[in-house]
């Protein structure tokens, strides 16, 4: 009997978490995304039209991500430039896919030298570390987010969904003068609410 219970319990827990996920709720014990560790892995294997901002120069061309760098073929005798992702003089990368959807990646001055994806621009602008072209709520990583407003840059890093929601709600309430509660929203609902704000 004890053996059967030990075998059945993990299955019940797995089914429970699957049910929560299907309803749009993220399990509280799991990180929503793992891509923040190596976000450029999501962009490998393809060429993108775009440009980089290096020092004070804007360099345009065909971009490709590999070996910890962005490579640019600019059409001048097929010359390729290599810019290391962790180079502090590499400030921004903008790329578009075949459908014309754009990703804007930026670093913040005097910050952590990481790139962040622009998710939403408004009174409070939101960035994350999930480098995909879709900005649907389910594709926004609030556990690894930065928000900016009034010249402030705030990192909302949090291991758990519940903590990440609370931090984001605190910033929303402060910036917009609202009084919403994290417990009233699941991940997708909260992101949609934030992105609907101007």
| Any domain includes 5 | no
Query: Residue range 65-86: average pLDDT?
Result: 82
Residue 114: CB partners within 8 Å, gap ≥ 6?
107, 129
| Any domain includes 46 | yes
Proportion of the chain in helix, strand, coil states, percent, rounded to 5: 30, 30, 40
Strand partners, 95: 50, 103
| Any domain includes 19 | no
| Any domain includes 141 | yes
Q: How confident is the model at residue 7 (pLDDT cuts 50, 70, 90)?
A: very low
Cβ–Cβ < 8 Å for 147, 156: yes
176-188 confidence digits (pLDDT tens) = 999 999 999 999 9
Looking at residue 110, what is its pLDDT?
Answer: 86
| Any domain includes 94 | yes
pTM assigned to the model: 0.81
| Any domain includes 29 | no
Please state, in angstroms and rounded to a whole number, the distance separating the CA atoms of residues 51 and 72: 8
| Any domain includes 21 | no
Question: Domain range for residue 57?
Answer: 34-196
Residue 80: φ, ψ to 5°: -115, 135
Please state, in angstroms and rounded to a whole number, the distance separating the CA atoms of residues 59 and 57: 6
105-163 confidence digits (pLDDT tens) = 999 998 899 999 999 999 999 999 999 999 999 999 999 999 999 999 999 988 888 89
Indicate the SS3 state at residue 160: coil
Domain count, the chain: 1
Looking at residue 34, what is its pLDDT?
Answer: 66
Q: Alpha helix locations (H) across 87-180? A: 161-176
| Any domain includes 71 | yes
Tell me which residue has tokens 């987010």: 145
Residue 183: CB partners within 8 Å, gap ≥ 6?
none
What percent of the chain clears pLDDT 70, i.e. is strictly above it? 79
């Amino acid at each position: 009997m004890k053996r059967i219970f030990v075998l059945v319990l993990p299955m019940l827990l797995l089914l429970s978490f699957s049910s929560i996920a299907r309803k749009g709720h993220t399990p509280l014990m799991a990180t929503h995304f793992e891509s923040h560790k190596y976000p450029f892995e999501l962009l490998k294997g393809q060429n993108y039209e775009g440009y980089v901002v290096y020092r004070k120069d804007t360099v345009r061309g065909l971009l490709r991500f590999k070996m910890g760098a962005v490579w640019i073929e600019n059409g001048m005798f097929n010359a390729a430039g290599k810019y290391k992702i962790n180079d502090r003089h590499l400030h921004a990368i903008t790329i578009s896919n075949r459908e014309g959807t754009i990703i804007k990646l930026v670093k913040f001055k005097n910050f952590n030298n990481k790139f962040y994806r622009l998710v939403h621009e408004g009174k409070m602008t939101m960035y994350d570390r999930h480098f995909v072209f879709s900005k649907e709520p389910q594709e926004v990583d609030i556990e690894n987010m930065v928000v900016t407003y009034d010249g402030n840059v705030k990192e909302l890093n949090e291991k758990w969904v519940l903590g990440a929601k609370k931090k984001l709600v605190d910033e929303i309430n402060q910036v917009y003068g609202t009084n919403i509660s994290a417990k009233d929203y699941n991940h997708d609902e909260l992101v949609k609410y934030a992105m609907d704000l101007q």
